[in-house]
């Protein structure tokens, strides 16, 4: 089964590098769409509603943005799932810890974290 991430992020260069590394680690099994604003997240969520596996919030996402992103997910998919295996309608929202918004995160910590969550 392939994974398609809808990502809310702040830094285009860092996000591109991390997502490229993540998808390279899962050839043919992982794709992504990136939004840099909540408005863009909602627009892309609606447009790609049937393709998104889960929503990923970057490490610099504020608590307010995370709450708004979850409201968008609830509007588009019915509800927010707290885990990837939770049954029923809705989409899982995974927030990358702020501690990975560091040099360590840029050197693969984010990729490792997301990989564990997706596969684990």
- Residue 100, pLDDT score: 74
Q: Confirm if 76 and 35 have CB atoms less than 8 A apart.
A: no
What's residue 108's pLDDT? Answer: 66
CA 39 from chain centre, in angstroms, equals 15
The reported pLDDT for the residue numbered 71 is 98
Distance (Å, rounded) from C-alpha 15 to C-alpha 62? 16
pLDDT at 1: 61
What residue ranges define each of the domains in the chain, with the CATH number in brackets? 3-114 (3.40.50)
pLDDT at site 120? 60
**Edge-to-edge strand list for the sheet holding 3-8:** 30-35, 3-8, 54-57, 91-95, 80-81
Q: What is the mean pLDDT of the chain?
A: 86
The DSSP string of the chain is --EEEEEE-S-HHHHHHHHHHHHHHSTTTEEEEEESSHHHHHHHHHHTTTT--EEEE-TT--HHHHHHHHHHHHHHHSSEESSTT--SSSEEEEE--GGGSSHHIIIIIHHHHHHHHHH-
What is the full per-residue pLDDT of the chain (120 aa) written as tens digits? 688 889 998 877 777 777 777 777 777 778 888 999 999 999 999 999 999 999 999 888 999 999 999 999 999 999 999 888 899 999 999 998 887 776 766 666 777 777 777 776
């Amino acid at each position: 089964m392939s994974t398609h991430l809808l990502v809310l992020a702040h830094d285009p260069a860092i996000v591109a590098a991390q997502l490229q590394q993540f998808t390279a680690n899962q050839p043919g099994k992982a794709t992504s769409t990136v939004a840099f604003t909540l408005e863009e997240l909602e627009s892309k969520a609606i447009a790609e509603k049937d393709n998104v596996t889960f929503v990923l919030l970057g490490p610099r996402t504020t608590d307010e943005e995370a709450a708004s992103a979850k409201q968008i997910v609830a509007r588009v998919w019915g509800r927010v799932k707290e885990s990837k295996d939770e049954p029923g309608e809705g989409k899982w929202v995974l927030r990358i810890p702020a501690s990975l918004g560091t040099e360590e995160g840029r050197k693969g910590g984010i990729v490792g974290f997301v990989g564990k969550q997706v596969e684990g």
